[in-house]
Structure 1
Amino acid sequence: MTLLSAEPLSFGTHYRRLLIGVVVLGALTQFLLGTFYLGVGHSPEPRNLPIGIVGPPAQVEPVAAQLESAGKFDVTTYSSPEALTAAIKARDAAGGLEITSGGVVAVVAGAGGTLPAATLKTVAAEANQRNNSPQTIPRDVVPLAQSDINGASLGYILQVISLGGSIASLGLGRLMPRVRQSLRRGLGHVAALIAYALVSAAIVLAFSSIYGVGSGADTGELFWTYALISLAITGSISGLVTLFGPVGSLTGGFYFLIGATISGASIPWTFLPHFWALLGQWLPTGGGAQLIRNSLYFPAASNTTALLCLGLYAGIGTLLVLVWNIMGNRDSRTSAIDVDALYPVTGEHHHHHDTSTEAESQP
């Protein structure tokens, strides 16, 4: 019996359709990604950016009203420069303006993002120009570290964790030993996810410290921050891989291509369209960006939302992995590689047996 046809396959309608499909899919993907990236990052403008203002009430009120009129700023009046500084360090305000006898001073937090800082500097400069006041020097109350002068490290770290997590999740989900799904296998899978998160955190901490990123922050807090982000990403991807197979790992690509862009790492949520800002806040990349930034530069800020976001992704993802395995091997799903065939672990005698038949007979 001939298993392979000696006659070469001809290029027919089927292959032309396949070729056209690949071209169309590639072009559509390029169009959608291009539209997305330019839509969110081409010309970002503030949307209800929370800022503070301090100064003589007679001067503060008209300036605050003017700033709020266009919907770009959400202005809060503070009683003193110290109160404004405290609000910025707690991330209740992205920055602010201080009205003095010598002109309007921009009070910024460089570590909170270049866009809010640049916007406030522009507002102060325009106000001084209108009032014929001398230009003032901005006051940066939370500056970026010299080792991370452009603030891009946060985004790079998120991309590394996202890409590594998608690869690890696919491997853990599809290369598990060919055994019946059980509580033991589920616990082993969850333990592997936790172990990977700890190793991932150590690696991120190691290469970031080489370049001085986080040198002034609490090392222990940073380690657990990276570990939680990694577990949230790998756990959520693993849960989907468990349910849908390798296609679930595409979630990692979504985190990498879309999630990192709308995470707030480079473009703050107050500069994104509302839909993308809302989605970005509730992705593990968004929660991760907020937690990393706070750990690095804003220890007084609240982490409640970020911890809730990351905890849900990590908890639900690992719970899916555990419950799926407890339910039993209902569809005889097995690993991509027959690990048992490579390394027999059952029985004391090395006799031949048909593993595929056994797998098919499992309930």
Structure 2
Amino acid sequence: MTFVDEVKNAVTPRAALLVIGVLGLQLLFIASYVGALHKPKPTDVAFGVVAPRQLSQQLVDRLDGLPGGPLDPRTVSSAAEAREQIMNRDIDGALIVSPEGRTDTLLVASGGGTVLSGALERILTQVEASQQRTVRTVDVAPASPDDFDGLSSFYLVVGWCVGGYLCASILAISAGSKPANRQRAAIRTAVMALYAIAGGIGGAIIIGPILGALPGSFWGLSGLGALVVFAVGMTTLALQALTGIVGIGLAVLIVVIAGNPSAGGAFPLPMLPDFWRAIGPALPPGAGTWTARSIAYFRGNAVTGPLLVLSAWAVAGTALTLLLSMRHRPGRADDSGTETARAAGGSTAA
């Protein structure tokens, strides 16, 4: 046998295509992570301004005209309203101008990301200094001392996502290339649901009672975790049912390559480039990270949209998995294998 024949036996055409696909995923991984995270800068950060009427619009215009467009300022009626909008996650910070003294107040929320709150402090300190004024910072939703840079929410959701597609991958390949019939698909869906519940509760136990990294409702985080795991898992099962083993790679593309760098974890969404800022909220890691931070630091506010996103992934994945399973009659693959075994047994007996 020649060397070329050995190569052909070692690497089949199908394997070669899969290797090329993996290379593509590797390059996309590098491009996505480096593209999203190599040069973070605040852009169009939702920002409130509370100032005397005669100064309010002038200050908004000045902030709106800062080089690079870091802020998207708008007037807010009062300091109390500014705090409420921050807690509702409508704005990321606010400047309260003192009508009497020369020291103003900057409201931030490091629970939404300490990198962003630090950037706002630097920007407003420079702006105030140019007007011979000073600023003091008040953190209205501070991150936990045990939640460095506010990253615990992100890593928690990443763990849930990884668990979701790993469990689904194991379920999908456990029967080799055997397609999922209706009964098998229903069983896998039930197993995925039980696994999601266990994963959600387990993650909440680790992040809360054990490590003390995140405050907030234990059961709220548990429910979120179950939804994230189930959404990612059922999406993976659906993609595998649609495209075979390639579907696992597609799940990695959606969740890991596109989802993680755009999730607003390492850097909050206003600090990401436009493309990643746009896709992040529509993908499970981004929706999960936003919701986890809201539960931990913002009284559970502003979670309806992200929960609908996660629910849509879960419902679509489940529906597609079950619908695709209807292409295969129950027992067809097994009957075929039985007939083959019988034929082999008959020929041996002969």
TM class, shorter-chain normalised? 0.7 to 0.9
Question: Are 1:45 and 2:49 counterparts?
Answer: no
Contact 1:163-1:253 within 8 A present in 2 as well: no
Partner of 2:159: 160
Paired residues, number: 334
| Unmatched segments (≥5 aa) in structure 2 | 345-350
Question: Are 1:64 and 2:60 counterparts?
Answer: yes
In structure 2, do the counterparts of structure 1 residues 30 and 326 end up closer, same or farther at CA, with 3 Å as the change threshold?
Answer: closer
In structure 2, do the counterparts of structure 1 residues 13 and 152 end up closer, same or farther at CA, with 3 Å as the change threshold?
Answer: same
1:89 aligned residue (87, 100, 110): 87
Letter in 2 for 1:165: G
Contact 2:33-2:257 within 8 A present in 1 as well: no
Contact 1:96-1:120 within 8 A present in 2 as well: no
Partner of 1:146: 145
d(CA) in 1 for partners of 2:328, 2:342? 18
- Cα shift at 1:300: 4.9
In structure 2, do the counterparts of structure 1 residues 84 and 148 end up closer, same or farther at CA, with 3 Å as the change threshold?
Answer: same
- Cα shift at 1:32: 4.3
**Deviation string for 1:93-143 (max 9, x for gaps)?**
111111122323221000011232122201221122112224x33100000
Contact 2:241-2:325 within 8 A present in 1 as well: no
Partner of 1:225: 224
Contact 1:169-1:234 within 8 A present in 2 as well: yes
Query: Secondary structure at the residue paired with 1:75?
Result: strand
d(CA) in 2 for partners of 1:180, 1:124? 59
Letter in 2 for 1:208: I
Contact 1:233-1:313 within 8 A present in 2 as well: yes
d(CA) in 2 for partners of 1:280, 1:48? 16
Letter in 2 for 1:202: I
Partner of 1:128: 128
- TM-score of the two chains, using structure 1 as the length reference: 0.81
Partner of 1:246: 245
In structure 2, do the counterparts of structure 1 residues 43 and 104 end up closer, same or farther at CA, with 3 Å as the change threshold?
Answer: farther
Partner of 1:80: 78
Query: Secondary structure at the residue paired with 1:137?
Result: strand
Partner of 1:317: 317
d(CA) in 2 for partners of 1:302, 1:311? 15
In structure 2, do the counterparts of structure 1 residues 56 and 275 end up closer, same or farther at CA, with 3 Å as the change threshold?
Answer: same
d(CA) in 2 for partners of 1:179, 1:123? 58
In structure 2, do the counterparts of structure 1 residues 227 and 26 end up closer, same or farther at CA, with 3 Å as the change threshold?
Answer: closer
Share of identical aligned residues, percent?
23
Aligned pairs for 1:181-220 (under 5 A) are 182-209=181-208, 210-214=210-214, 216-220=215-219
Query: Secondary structure at the residue paired with 1:199?
Result: helix
Letter in 2 for 1:328: H
Query: Secondary structure at the residue paired with 1:53?
Result: strand
**Deviation string for 1:3-51 (max 9, x for gaps)?**
xxxx5645899799x9x99998887666544343332212222232111
More helix by share: 2
- Cα shift at 1:298: 1.3
Query: Secondary structure at the residue paired with 2:146?
Result: helix
d(CA) in 2 for partners of 1:175, 1:230? 19
d(CA) in 2 for partners of 1:318, 1:21? 29
**Deviation string for 1:267-317 (max 9, x for gaps)?**
222222222212111111111111111111112522121011101100010
d(CA) in 1 for partners of 2:24, 2:328? 40
d(CA) in 1 for partners of 2:319, 2:19? 39
- Cα shift at 1:161: 1.7
Letter in 2 for 1:246: I
Letter in 1 for 2:43: R
Aligned pairs for 1:248-267 (under 5 A) are 248-254=247-253, 255-267=255-267
- Cα shift at 1:188: 1.5
| Unmatched segments (≥5 aa) in structure 1 | 1-6, 335-340, 342-351, 359-363
Contact 2:47-2:72 within 8 A present in 1 as well: yes
Contact 2:239-2:251 within 8 A present in 1 as well: no
Query: Secondary structure at the residue paired with 1:267?
Result: coil
Query: Secondary structure at the residue paired with 1:47?
Result: coil
d(CA) in 1 for partners of 2:218, 2:342? 49
Contact 1:169-1:241 within 8 A present in 2 as well: no
Letter in 2 for 1:49: V
In structure 2, do the counterparts of structure 1 residues 237 and 74 end up closer, same or farther at CA, with 3 Å as the change threshold?
Answer: same
